[in-house]
Amino acid sequence: MSTVAVGDIHGNAAALENLLAALLPELDREDTLVFLGDYIDRGPDSRGCVERIVNLQQGGPCTVVALLGNHARAASVHLPQASTVRPLKPPL
């Protein structure tokens, strides 16, 4: 049983895909992949990063935990529904 932590993706979907290509074949349902936040900002494909992580949560080979990072928190204050912004997946 392994736990792998990934942080500071910052919208770089290509780098995320390269990392996942190396990691996912090694992980199974007893393992946990933890994303430490900072999925958005700076890079060219923040939306792609978030969608990829959500898709992994819904059907990946392992448990996926996605924490809300400071960039998402900062962006959420500009949303009309800021009080309803939640982590990508609620804690169990």
**What is the C-alpha to C-alpha distance for residues 5 and 75, in angstroms, rounded to an integer?**
23
The verdict on residue 92 lying in a domain is no
Is position 61 within any domain?
A: yes
Evaluate if residue 67 carries a pLDDT over 80: yes
The answer to whether residue 5 scores a pLDDT higher than 50 is: yes
Q: Which of 50, 64, 66, 71 is catalytic?
A: 71
Q: Copy the structure tokens of residue 68.
A: 């809300």
Does residue 29 lie in a domain region?
Answer: yes
For the chain, the domain total comes to 1
CATH code (residue 62): 3.60.21.10
Q: Which of residues 19 and 91 earns the better pLDDT score?
A: 19
Segment 10-60, tens digit of pLDDT: 999 999 999 999 999 999 999 999 999 888 878 899 899 999 999 999 999
The reported pTM is 0.75
Are β-strands 63-66 and 32-35 bridged in parallel, bridged antiparallel, or unpaired? parallel
Assess if residue 50 is contained within a domain: yes
Q: Is-catalytic flag, 10?
A: no
The residue assigned the tokens 């500009």 is 78
pLDDT of residue 29: 94
